[in-house]
Amino acid sequence: MGRVLGIDYGARRVGLALSDPLRVIASPFRTLTGLREGELFAELQQICTEQEVELVVVGLPLGMKNQETAQTENVREFAERLAEEGWAVELEDERLSSVSATRSLIQQNIKSGHNKDLIDRTAAAIILQQYLDRTGQ
């Protein structure tokens, strides 16, 4: 069974997390910054190949009242593009993942103000862990 890649997609930064091969534990992996769409997809393809990823879980940003936002539509388009490229893609509600990531870093005495990259990959790990726990992957 291959790994699962978690993605916290944003216009400027894309946080990534990976599951272990047994799909039990999600860990922060990398944050990709400043890439154009083609470069982003090429980088993701390389990561998926190197890490033996079989499934991609993309965090879906819904409003607190479960409403769709402009960013929700951007993420849906990104996920559709991934699927068109041939990846197996699942969406996972990501409400409060960035808030949880920031709190987690603060509890570890890591300053979050200048660590946006760390917040994004930690948020991706929270999204991915939530998916793994919910689905029993």
Q: How far apart are CA 103 and CA 85, in angstroms?
A: 35
What beta strand segments (E) does the chain contain?
Answer: 3-9, 13-19, 26-33, 53-60, 89-93
The tens-digit pLDDT sequence of the chain (137 residues) is 799 999 999 888 999 999 999 999 999 999 999 999 899 999 999 999 999 999 999 999 877 677 788 889 999 999 999 999 999 999 998 865 555 655 665 565 555 555 677 788 988 999 999 899 889 86
Residue 70: per-residue pLDDT: 84
Structure tokens of 125?
């790990």
Structure confidence at residue 73 (pLDDT): 93
Q: How many domains does the chain have?
A: 1
What pLDDT score was predicted for residue 60? Answer: 93
End-to-end CA distance of the chain: 10
The answer to whether residues 58 and 92 touch, using CB atoms and an 8 Å cutoff, is yes
CA dist list (Å): 87 to 12, 62, 79, 112: 22, 23, 9, 32
The set of residues, in sequence order, having a beta carbon less than 8 Å from that of 136 and lying 6+ positions away, is: none
Here the tokens at position 88 are 């197996």
Q: What is the CATH number of the domain that holds 35?
A: 3.30.420.140
Is the alpha carbon torsion for 66, 60, 96, 131 positive or negative? Answer: positive
Residue span of the structural domain in which 96 resides: 3-135
